[in-house]
Amino acid sequence: MKLAPYFLFVCVVNAAIAAPPKEIWTVTSGLSNPESSYYDAESQAIYVSNVAGEATKKDGVGWISKVSLDGKMIAEKWVEGLNAPKGIRVHKGKLWVSDIDTIVGIDMKTAKITDKVQISAAKFLNDVEIGDDGTVYVSDMADPNIYMLQGNNTQVFLSGEDLQSPNGLILHDGKLVVGGWGIGMKPDFSVKKKGGLYSVDLKTKNISKLSGALGNLDGLEYEKDQRWLVSDWIRGDVFRYDAKTKKKTMLLKKLKGAADIGYIAEKRMLLVPEMNVSKLHAYELK
């Protein structure tokens, strides 16, 4: 992903450091700027979005890869013809992926694109989350909005600077939990203030802070007992954040673009796309 000035931004964060998790395997070929990793229990496979070209360019070179649980490439270009695909989620046999200004639906059985819903006002659609009712939530990091798709109808769920250039999304206990990239994001992706975690009540849309500033947050997964797994793209860090104790514990440091992580709870497996070197890592968490 070519965002050169963005790579050079540096920040300092104090955090506890845990013993690094055990690396299980790494996929080192067949990927190109992997952004998001997601495990689908029904197909028992991991799906990876590949930006391939530039993150904001409609060049048609992006694709989705399919990887086995033991790190073998099942289908390098499971679905092709996307632009710069990012966040991935699966709901009732359909994979949904964000693609710059479009939400794309893919039939899992046929690997065919069945839906393309463009949001004309969107600038940089990023992560995707899906409710039990099928509502698709998508963050727009460049223009602070969270959109919702119901059927073929899209609308703004929430907008404004309070969203901290929203990136990672996950639904938990009736709330949408969000990882913010930061406040006052500039065209080079630098920010005035680093992002944190917060939750949004789905009914009232009230925002509750879960943390202070943590970093330029990208991937977000729930572990257990109010502990969250989070990646910081700029620093290349992956850490655990305990919302009860407000403690941040470092797991991995200085990866080259720690993007949208995935987590397989029953296997305690953490998936980490290392975007700038086109790798996908799997780690065992203790």
Q: Whole-angstrom Cα distance, residue 240 to residue 126?
A: 21
Beta bridge partners of 117: 103
* Residue indicated by tokens 């700027």: 33
What's this model's pTM, rounded to 2 decimal places? 0.92
Of the pLDDT bands very low, low, confident and very high (cuts 50, 70, 90), residue 15 is: low
Q: What is the pLDDT of residues 136-179, one digit of tens each?
A: 999 999 999 999 999 989 999 999 999 999 999 999 999 999 99
Q: Whole-angstrom Cα distance, residue 145 to residue 125?
A: 9
Taking 60 as the threshold, does the pLDDT of residue 12 lie above it?
no
Find the length of the chain.
286
Q: Whole-angstrom Cα distance, residue 206 to residue 208?
A: 7
Of the pLDDT bands very low, low, confident and very high (cuts 50, 70, 90), residue 125 is: very high
pLDDT at 277: 98
Instruction: Tell me what the mean pLDDT of segment 18-24 comes to.
Output: 88
Selected from 2.60.40.10, 2.120.10.30, 3.30.1490.20, 2.30.300.10, the CATH number assigned to the domain covering 22-275 reads: 2.120.10.30
Taking 50 as the threshold, does the pLDDT of residue 11 lie above it?
no
Q: Whole-angstrom Cα distance, residue 139 to residue 126?
A: 5
HEC letters along 48-108 = EEECCCCCCCCCCCEEEEEECCCCCEEEEEEEEEECCEEEEEEECCEEEEEEECEEEEEEC
Q: What is the pLDDT of residues 29-46, one digit of tens each?
A: 999 999 999 999 999 999
In order of 77, 166, 185, 221, 267, the CA distances from 261 in angstroms are 20, 16, 22, 7, 15
List the one residue out of 177, 281, 286, 197 whose CA is nearest residue 236.
281
Q: Whole-angstrom Cα distance, residue 177 to residue 139?
A: 11
Instruction: Tell me what the mean pLDDT of segment 46-61 comes to.
Output: 96
Q: Whole-angstrom Cα distance, residue 118 to residue 141?
A: 16
Least confident of 14-23, 80-89, 172-181: 14-23
Q: Whole-angstrom Cα distance, residue 132 to residue 30?
A: 33
